[in-house]
Chain A
Amino acid sequence: MNLSDEQVLAMAPDESSRKSGKDLANPAKWVSKGVSEIALWGECQGSGSKPYQTQIDTGNMAFKCSCPSRKFPCKHGLGLLLLYARQRASFPEEAPPAWVSEWLAKRAEKEEKKATTAAAPDKQADSAAAQAKRQQARMQKVSDGTHELLRWMKDLVRNGIMDMPEKDPSFFENMIRRMVDAQAPGLAAMMRELADISYFHDGWQSIFINQLTRIYLVIQGYQHLDQLPSGLQQDIRSLTGFPVSQEELKEQTGITDTWQVLGKQTTEEDRLVVERYWLYGVNTQRRALILQFFVRGQSTLANTLTPGSSIQAELVYYPSAAPLRALIKQQMTVPANHSFTGQANWQEVVAAQTETSSVLPVYNDQVYTIAHLTPVWHQEQWWLQDNQQQLMPVKKTFQHIWKLLALSGGEPLHMAVTGKETQYEPIGVWHEQEYKIL
């Protein structure tokens, strides 16, 4: 396990954990510590009489700590890992103490149990008929909701959107609540994006119509669901807000590969934190998006992905016309794989997008690994120029342009970017044969 400070800190669930984790990366805080092939552990003197017992399963990058924090990983886990990253030599290599080996054994046992349970048929399963009835009722509710939303949109279009910046927040809120009532949380989320547009910035009109059109497409898709190909049906159902059973997904055979964790993007809305991990399969050359949700301050995620690292994992894609979102069935941290494969230039990227768009018109940001991109300054903004001298703009909100420029030095770099159409954000680069997150 060879992690950089940046990689460890990227695992933090929030800024305060990051700060506290840094404070705890101090040998004076740790009463004892040790490392074995599969685990890292330490006892941290907190405010209580007994030190907190912090342990990390380094194979699966799983954390456990006896502290009362509900964050995950907690500051002790982060501090311990950061200390290990900085001062590896100060960790004696030894057999794990009982409290660590017991936890590791329990984890192994749990995994085994899970595998057995998955193999066994679900005794508690509802009768198929009852399930279908419930499903039918919900479909009707959602359908009613989409009709109402469409009426609302048409009113908007009829009267014009000129006065949108002056609208009271309740203008959107009422319809968002209505979509929640109609059991269409996906449409509610799309409406929330519409409400959250910054109406005081130039160009809001285009963003607004863009989002309105997407909502319209989803509504139309839903109202004509049976006429759509099965993959797209699944996308429309997900976008409307029908959940996909993770348990059922896990029963499917996934794609096993060495996956590079290209980056992580975190957004937060109403205390709900959304973590997007972008993965790239070294052998299959497939891209994947792992989404994790948690309420701020109460992260209870099972596993943590480290941006810039690699995992050997079996991934199952959510059903889609253009599968991207996936879940990890099982994973194991492996030495970071720094190999690069990807698109040769922007033309290949837009060709891939055209293909995606043809099967999934309402697709979201994608991840691409693109060869030989150079940051250039042109018309008062930064662009990424490929080896065909073609350009794509860098998102104006991109924060790491100087780091990107420093690594590039004017030379082209292989880059991992997220985005779509004409807005891209680099998340990492291959620099001196190593993948580095930005």
Chain B
Amino acid sequence: MEHWNQLINTALLGTAKKPADSQGLNGPLQEAAHTILNNQTDKEEQFLQLAALIYNFRQSGTQPVTAVVEPIAVCPPETRLYCAPAAVRVLQQALETESIQLLELWLEYCTKANLLLPPAQLPVMLDKGWRNKSLRTLVATAGGQRAEWLGRFNPDWNFSRVVDTIEDRWQNGATAQRLEALKELRATDPAMARSWLQQSWPKESATVKAELLTALEKPADPNDIEWLESLLNEKSKQVKETAQRLLKKLPGSTLHEKYWQIVAGAIQIDEYGQVTVALPEITDESIFQSGIDKLSHDKTVSDETHILYQLISAIHPARWEEHFNRNTERVIALFQQQEGLKPFIPALVLAIATFEDRERAETFMHHSEEFYIDVIPMLPPDQQQQFSEKFFDEHPESIIQYACDNPEEWSLSLCTRIFKYAATQPYTYNQQFMNNHIRQIPVSIAGVLDSIVPTEAYHTGYWNNIKVHLGRLLQAKSQINAVAFQLKNGSTF
């Protein structure tokens, strides 16, 4: 190679400045070079002949490199089976649609069946996991030892660890796996989950802290208050914001109580059951710093009403029962009857939704003549779909939003309503929307898709493209369901 490099140096300068020579050549190569250089030819011909000589010498004598290379650690053997080729083909279809939800669905079936992704599929799936946090735990579980092994070579993929027990996942898993483990524990033992997090807290980075803290969201536990309030002094803005968001949902927290003190002072009931509403001046700036707007954006709503509205929506609805000394039904009646309270009914509904107070949500629905869309997510699933359909035309966008937030698959009739509306707004409810909600879209909608057409002619082309894409998504979904069905009936996935 050294000979070759010398030749290149000559070529760079040109033979006019630096004629080719046999310097550095030895043995038969030198002999041959001398023959060339002694020829009665021009310097350029000599250079080209020398180049041809060294070129052939080099390529005829190529040798592999002998070097001491640290041996690559062999991946430990898998203890689980790989999924069947038919399931891999279905996965390919899901990958082609670029819908993360379909991949999630496929991976859920794969992991439920305790099977593994074949090695050839791992790079593409690990890449999907890297780009989409929601897939990480599933990819790690379905990836087995090989995925963890690959993660050692590609830092983007190091979210994949083979972990078995919940404790193992918490101790040795990647962030997504740890969060999942913490959420699982939180559902059964909130205090223990908090204690795990407290123990590891000093060792975590700010981003991981903020991420893990979200595990405390459900179920809410008043015993978290003290610790969460101490986190308001953390350096990281991200952590502080997450802690504050959690504290807002905990009656008894300092912030909640401050809100309540203002509201309780502003809304009074006299001995005749008359309610007066008068907001005193708020001098505590921390109220506004916590996210309460000072000024109303609506001319018809005063600043005081706007502030009260926000505070009421952030206060647990149970507080009104103590305050007015009345049960839920009568509190609702008071809000409906008293002129001063009427503007705050939507705020009360928002509070019911924020604190996920399902019991009061149902009571409210029974005693309200008006329909409040924000109550929908608090209702039992069958009622949610029923109300969604009933009030669809009044609040199409909000109902679609709630339907999207609800993981349940939509009924065919609700889905038809949604798509009929979507056909009028194809730029909002586009292919990406379909990708993101294919889990909720029933496969049976394929049969009625042709009958759903946009009202505006200029939307037709765009909507048709969406339908074609949706067709692909539905086909892949039905294939995944079919594979899962076979699995249920004893075949391999």
Contacts and interface: CB of A to CB of B under 8 A. Distances in A.
Nearest to A375: B72
Contacts of A216: 48, 51-52
Nearest to A374: B72
Interface residues of B, number: 57
Nearest to A19: B96
Which DSSP category, helix, strand, loop or mixed, fits chain B's interface?
helix
B92 A157 contact: no
Interface in A394-411: 402-403, 405-407, 409-411
A-B complex: 8 closest residue pairs judged by Cβ atoms: A160-B14, A409-B75, A402-B123, A346-B64, A154-B44, A390-B64, A410-B74, A406-B119
Interface string B57-91: 01111111111010111110000000001000110
Given A213-B48, A376-B69, A377-B153, A206 B64 contact: no
B62 A158 contact: no
A86 interface: yes
Contacts of B51: 209, 212-213, 216
A390 B63 CA distance: 9
A153 B11 CA distance: 11
Interface size class of chain A, counting residues whose CB lies under 8 Å from the partner chain:
35 or more
Given A162-B13, A217-B52, A391 B69 contact: yes
Contact of B17 (A4, A5, A160, A405): A160
A68 to B, nearest CB: 21
Given A162-B13, A403-B120, A154 B66 contact: no
Interface stretch (A133-141, A331-339, A353-361): A353-361
A219 B475 CA distance: 59
B16 A158 contact: yes
B93 interface: yes
B44 A160 contact: no
B65 A421 contact: no
B56 A361 contact: yes
A85 B66 CA distance: 44
A302 interface: no
A292 interface: no
Contacts of B11: 157, 160-161, 205, 208-209
B89 A392 contact: no
A392 B64 contact: yes
Contact of B123 (A4, A159, A406): A406
Contact of B150 (A361, A378, A406): A406
B8 interface: yes
B150 A405 contact: yes
A420 interface: yes
Interface in A4-42: 4-5, 22-23, 25-28
Contacts of A410: 72-75, 149
Interface stretch (A124-132, A270-278, A381-389): A381-389
A371 to B, nearest CB: 14
Given A217-B52, A410-B75, 13 more contacts: A23-B468, A154-B48, A157-B15, A158-B44, A160-B12, A212-B51, A213-B51, A350-B63, A350-B64, A354-B60, A391-B64, A403-B123, A409-B149
28 contacts: A4-B89, A26-B475, A28-B446, A86-B93, A159-B16, A160-B14, A160-B17, A205-B11, A206-B4, A206-B5, A212-B48, A213-B55, A216-B52, A217-B52, A217-B55, A350-B63, A353-B59, A357-B59, A357-B60, A361-B56, A377-B153, A383-B65, A393-B65, A405-B153, A406-B123, A406-B150, A411-B75, A421-B62
B43 A213 contact: no
B122 interface: yes
B69 to A, nearest CB: 5
Contacts of A155: 44
B154 interface: yes
Contact of B96 (A22, A27, A217, A421): A22
A49 interface: no
A386 B64 contact: yes
Contacts of A266: none
A436 interface: yes
A356 B63 CA distance: 15
B7 interface: yes
B59 A420 contact: yes
Interface of A: 4-5, 22-23, 25-28, 85-86, 153-155, 157-162, 205-206, 208-210, 212-214, 216-217, 220, 346-347, 349-350, 353-354, 357-358, 361, 374-378, 383, 385-386, 389-393, 402-403, 405-407, 409-411, 420-422, 431, 436
A198 B55 CA distance: 21
Contacts of A374: 72
B146 interface: yes
Interface string B1-41: 00011011001111111000000000000000000000000
A358 B60 contact: yes
Contacts of A391: 64-67, 69
Contact of A26 (B16, B75, B472): B472
A376 B73 CA distance: 10
A402 B14 contact: no
Contacts of B120: 403, 406-407, 431, 436
B69 A28 contact: no
A124 B149 CA distance: 67
A386 B69 CA distance: 12
A209 B64 contact: no
Nearest to B85: A4
B8 A209 contact: yes
Contact of B48 (A22, A157, A353, A392): A157
Interface-central residue, B64, B89, B154, B475, by most chain A CB under 10 Å: B64
A212 B12 CA distance: 13
Contacts of B42: 154
Interface-central residue, A206, A208, A386, A402, by most chain B CB under 10 Å: A402
A409 B48 contact: no
A349 B71 CA distance: 23
A378 B67 contact: yes
A214 B59 CA distance: 12
Contacts of A159: 14, 16
B47 interface: yes
B346 interface: no
Contacts of A354: 60-62
A350 B65 CA distance: 12
Contacts of A353: 59-60, 62
A5 B12 CA distance: 49
B146 A409 contact: yes
B69 A385 contact: yes
Nearest to A349: B64
A389 B65 CA distance: 9
Contacts of A5: 89, 92
A352 to B, nearest CB: 11
Given A376-B72, A405-B150, A410-B75, A161 B63 contact: no
B8 A206 contact: yes
A350 to B, nearest CB: 5
Contacts of B58: 421
A186 B119 CA distance: 43
A29 to B, nearest CB: 9
Contacts of A385: 69
B69 A378 contact: yes
Nearest to B145: A409
Contacts of B356: none
A389 B69 contact: yes
Nearest to A160: B14
Interface string B148-165: 011001100000000000
B5 to A, nearest CB: 8
B39 to A, nearest CB: 13
B12 A205 contact: yes
Given A154-B42, A160-B11, A377-B72, A350 B16 contact: no
A102 B479 CA distance: 35
B75 A153 contact: no
Contact of A409 (B64, B119, B123): B119
Contacts of B468: 23
A159 B475 CA distance: 65
